Amino acid sequence: MFNYKTITYLPASVPEKTGFDQVLDAVRYYIHTPYGRDRLQSLKPLSEPDDVRMLARQTSEMQELFQGDEALPLQTLDEIDLWLERAGAEGSVLTTPALHAIRQHVRLARLLHTFIEKHREEVPELWRVAADLQPVNDLEKALNRALTDKGELRDDASNELRTIRSNLTGRKQSLRQIIQKLFRQSVEAGRASDEGPTLRNGRMVIPILAEHKRKVEGFVHDVSASGQTVYLEPVEALQINNDIRQLEAEEKREVERILKSLTTLVRHHRPRIRSNAPLIGELDLIHARTRLGQSWDGALPEPSEKGTWQIIGAMNPVLMLKNRRLKQSDREAVVPLDLEIDETERGIIISGPNAGGKSVALKTTALLAMMYQSGIPLPLEPHSELPTVSGVFLDLGDDQSIESDLSTFSSRLKWMGDVLEAVNERSLVLIDEAGTGTDPDEGSALFQAFMEQLLEQGAHLLASTHHGTLKVFANDHPLLANGAMEFDQQTLTPTYRFRKGTPGSSYAFEIARRMKLPETLLNRSLTLLGEQRDRLAELLLDLEQRLREADDRERHFRKLSDEAEEAERAYRSRDQELASKRDEIIQKALSEADQIMRGANRRIEQAVEKITTAGEQRETVRRTRRKVDEHKKEIREKLSAIEKRQRRKQPDKQQEAPPEIGDAVTISGGDTTGELIERNGNQAVVLANGLKIRTRYDNLVKSRGKRQSASDKTDRWLNSSSKGSWSGGPVKPSLDIRGKRGDEAIRELMLYLDRAVAAGLQEVQVIHGKGEGILRKLVGEYLEKRREVRHFEDAPWESGGPGCTVVQLN
């Protein structure tokens, strides 16, 4: 059933050298059954892309089950192959412990089948395995009727056994009563020792002093070592003891008959029990490898269809496992690896100082590939991408064969020949310290030719070196790129961070100077090296320093930019709140003023009527009324101005001219603003912050911005591309930000919500994990600020509980 094609190793020690064996040992910790251990023992990474995707689906489905309220009903099992073999012989009888072990296997097969069948719609790949499990209900029921939970034979395993054991219990009770009575009488008469009744030859006796043995009727079964005590069976107990021995013989025959009947039933179902074993083992292994990945919050990278590598934030699993065994104070920081090989490249030449992390980068890449192709979640960012490799060929330059009388370099030459015969376009070849082991010039030329041949055969290549000629080779070859492990020139210590694009220096003289070697020695070394090589080294050092400074500035700029954007959003939100409150206060005040004026008007009319009645002059009354009318008009004008201002905040799309290609537009229902770059009927594409957003054309409102020139668009795209991009595909109903830093997670959440609003989604999920609750708090604080968010709350327990937030959008 599990006859999959696996990857090729060369040499056979690749799993040991990369640390893959240590990862498998960590998986073993989570294994429950001997069949899971058997499957783990034979586990090798699969080599076919479809099979690797199948493993990823199995792991993803098991992760889904982990989120539910019910756990997969796995339990510890004992090995039963020996018992099944013995049950195969006609007339054989298994013991109750053996039958109990078989029952545990049968029960587990039924539980796994039932549990996964209940969730078959959510976990189709796991159901494909569990569907072949064959419950053996009649055997399980028969064993349950015959055995207790501890694996002992029940008194009511048969009617005959129940009757025999009931009679046996009664006779033993009668025997104890008679023996206790006779013993007390003997003690009172001074004939018995204080030892108490005991058993001899399976019969109950009392200890009688030797000098009184003839005064008590019965049969002597034993004498003490000193000869002073005899163990006598009283004549009164003789018949009862005989009855007990007869009942015990009957019990033994009935127990043997029951066990023989159960063994016959086991023999009948042996093929089904044996066929269940590897399926239980497979589910056990899937569960164990997923548990290991969960322990370091691992993720499954996206499969790369074009052979590209996009390793983002990868932690070396072996170093993480090592830290687990150490006290918190003794643990070392694990520096994440970021490594990319795009579709125009096939490899990278890595340079840099000794102990700078070159070898670890090679081993980490190989280890991640093998774990990915074994279905084990990796400790890296989930949006990483890995291809499926057909073989891993590793040369660490430390193999020396005594039996074959091969030196280290000779063994490398043999390895090179074997590799050239085996590699194809999906092979991964890793070479540590390329060009060493012989004359530097000859070694560099040999390895350059070897790598050229590998690239011609289409292999993926990662190599580390100190040789300048190989750095130049990587710079000139169209399928290769240079890379370096960063080095702090101030402290002359490695940072263990990989940087692609430029070669690195070996820092030999800088480290020698730090080790306080004599200056005369260093100066002589520089003279021997030659001015040109010295100048090249200085240029490399200067370039590396400038790149590090540029990286630091870029990180600082991004941090300031993020802070400024957040502050701007906060100020805009606050400004809108204040403006709204101001208008509300003014409107309320003017409304109250209008009410006051209406009341005053009524009172004035009443006063005018009284004045007229009293004979006052009509001209005075008219002037007073005009002033009142002027005040009322002023209030109405202010109210009208506020209403117009409110209407301007909600632009009427019908009054605007329809947007054209290149116009600045706003997507209705949100704050997303961008440029209309494509229209096909009622479908449109908007470029917003480097993202292509597909939406309906009639959802767009023309903004007051001006069209941008081609150069402006290019500049804006370049500036935004560093913040991520989106392919314009359908928006997923959930966003996973587990393991991200706070500012990075909120930035992803902001872009995701913009896309979800533009796509018209009504409800989405944000998966942030439980942990210490920091991400959950940050997500909640951000969601409160988004006016497109109508409501948000923790997901139900079956969907993640506090580890997931459900967001309802307007």
pLDDT for 121 equals 93
- Of the spans 77-86, 493-502, 518-527, 613-622, which averages the highest pLDDT? 77-86
For residue 653, name the pLDDT band (cuts at 50, 70, 90).
very low
User: Residue 88: how many CB atoms within 10 A of its CB?
Assistant: 12
For the stretch 778-809, pLDDT in tens is 899 899 988 889 999 988 876 777 888 999 98
Any idea which of 344-348, 351-355, 481-485, 506-510 has the lowest mean pLDDT? Answer: 506-510
Any idea which of 53-67, 72-86, 101-115, 498-512 has the lowest mean pLDDT? Answer: 498-512
Question: Averaged over 184-191, what is the pLDDT?
Answer: 85
Dihedrals phi, psi of 477, to nearest 5 degrees: -80, 130
Question: Averaged over 422-443, what is the pLDDT?
Answer: 88
125: its two tokens: 């790949």
Whole-number Å distance between alpha carbons of 156 and 146: 7
Choose between 672 and 699: higher pLDDT.
Answer: 699
pLDDT for 711 equals 38
290: its two tokens: 């997923």
362 and 432 Cβ atoms separated by less than 8 Å: yes
- pTM here is 0.63
For every residue of 247-269, DSSP letters joined together read HHHHHHHHHHHHHHHHHHHHHHH
Whole-number Å distance between alpha carbons of 183 and 188: 9
For residue 31, name the pLDDT band (cuts at 50, 70, 90).
very high
522: its two tokens: 């260093």
Question: Averaged over 173-201, what is the pLDDT?
Answer: 87
Question: Averaged over 447-469, what is the pLDDT?
Answer: 93
pLDDT for 697 equals 83
Residues 6+ apart with CB under 8 A from 722: 558
Does the structure show a pLDDT above 90 at 462?
A: yes
Count Cβ atoms within 10 A of the Cβ of residue 524 and give its class: 0-12 exposed, 13-18 middle, 19 or more buried.
Answer: exposed
Q: In what order do the strands lie in the sheet with 218-223?
A: 198-200, 203-209, 229-234, 218-223
Any idea which of 510-514, 576-580, 634-638 has the lowest mean pLDDT? Answer: 634-638
Any idea which of 113-122, 355-364, 603-612 has the lowest mean pLDDT? Answer: 603-612
Mean of the per-residue pLDDT values for the chain? 83
For residue 621, name the pLDDT band (cuts at 50, 70, 90).
low
Does the structure show a pLDDT above 70 at 268?
A: yes
For residue 701, name the pLDDT band (cuts at 50, 70, 90).
confident
For the stretch 655-670, pLDDT in tens is 457 888 888 888 765 5
Question: Averaged over 152-171, what is the pLDDT?
Answer: 93
At 501, is the secondary structure helix, strand, or coil? coil
pLDDT for 253 equals 95
pLDDT for 429 equals 96
Question: Averaged over 388-415, what is the pLDDT?
Answer: 73
pLDDT for 79 equals 92
pLDDT for 404 equals 42
For the stretch 117-146, pLDDT in tens is 999 999 999 999 999 999 999 999 999 999
Choose between 724 and 235: higher pLDDT.
Answer: 235
For the stretch 496-555, pLDDT in tens is 889 888 887 766 766 677 777 888 887 777 677 654 455 445 556 566 666 666 667 777
pLDDT for 692 equals 65
Name the DSSP letter for residue 438: S
pLDDT for 130 equals 95
Does the structure show a pLDDT above 60 at 400?
A: no
165 and 173 Cβ atoms separated by less than 8 Å: no
Q: Please compute Rg for the chain using Cα positions.
A: 43
